[in-house]
A and B are shown apart, each in its own frame.
Chain A
Amino acid sequence: GAGVSQSPSNKVTEKGKDVELRCDPISGHTALYWYRQSLGQGLEFLIYFQGNSAPDKSGLPSDRFSAERTGGSVSTLTIQRTQQEDSAVYLCASSLTLAGRDTQYFGPGTRLTVL
């Protein structure tokens, strides 16, 4: 079946504008994760969803970041009033369940550039 898809693949925006990043997980996967990867760096965990619920938002870098998931499927990560330090690749992953044993499968990422 299809893997995790993300859109757009690239986004260039001006400082202060809002952006929405979309993630379409593997069908049937109940858990969904968002990560951020700055240039040449490792993965920074942002938020996870079990179904439509996000029990812990503490990983989000600031209150300009929000995420939602509807219908237990597609998720949107929104960044308001973007800043240059938000420039990074945003990766989405999904897994069958939230269990630690379940492999996370990653999408291709959205490269965000804030000018």
Chain B
Amino acid sequence: AQKVTQAQTEISVVEKEDVTLDCVYETRDTTYYLFWYKQPPSGELVFLIRRNSFDEQNEISGRYSWNFQKSTSSFNFTITASQVVDSAVYFCALSENTGGFKTIFGAGTRLFVKA
């Protein structure tokens, strides 16, 4: 069975600090997809990134970077020089090749960035 664990329930940082949100997953599939979403206070989940299991290259997009390591079944998300606007709940999700209806979301990590 697949599982996504976001062990950090809440993280609080001061603006300009770097912060890493952890995501550990379990799956028996060799082909799978990992996602990160951001849910700001407005409530809408915003898609951030998708990685497939065959692409372990780390990715950087502005202040955001993702570290995918199959050896530890982790897909961690780092925000560099955090800003108040980064305050949100962040969800990690796993989808197996079987289909999107098998997508499992982690419990989410609430990030507070203080000015």
Q: Which residues of A contact B (CB under 8 A)?
A: 31, 33, 41-43, 45, 48, 56, 89, 91, 93, 95, 97-109, 111
Contact of A102 among B32, B45, B100 (CB under 8 A): B100
Beyond A48-B101, A108-B44, is A100–B33 a contact (Cβ under 8 Å)? yes
Q: How many residues of B are counted as interface, with CB atoms below 8 angstroms from the partner's CB atoms?
A: 27
Query: 25 A–B contact pairs at CB < 8 A?
Result: A31-B101, A33-B101, A33-B103, A42-B91, A42-B107, A42-B108, A43-B105, A45-B101, A89-B43, A91-B45, A98-B99, A99-B97, A100-B32, A100-B96, A100-B98, A102-B100, A103-B35, A103-B47, A103-B50, A104-B47, A104-B103, A106-B37, A107-B44, A108-B44, A109-B44
Chain B at the A interface: mostly helix, strand, loop or mixed?
mixed
Chain A at the B interface: mostly helix, strand, loop or mixed?
loop
In the bound complex, residues from chain A placing their C-beta under 8 Å from that of B47 are: 103-106
Number of A-B pairs whose CB atoms are under 8 Å? 66
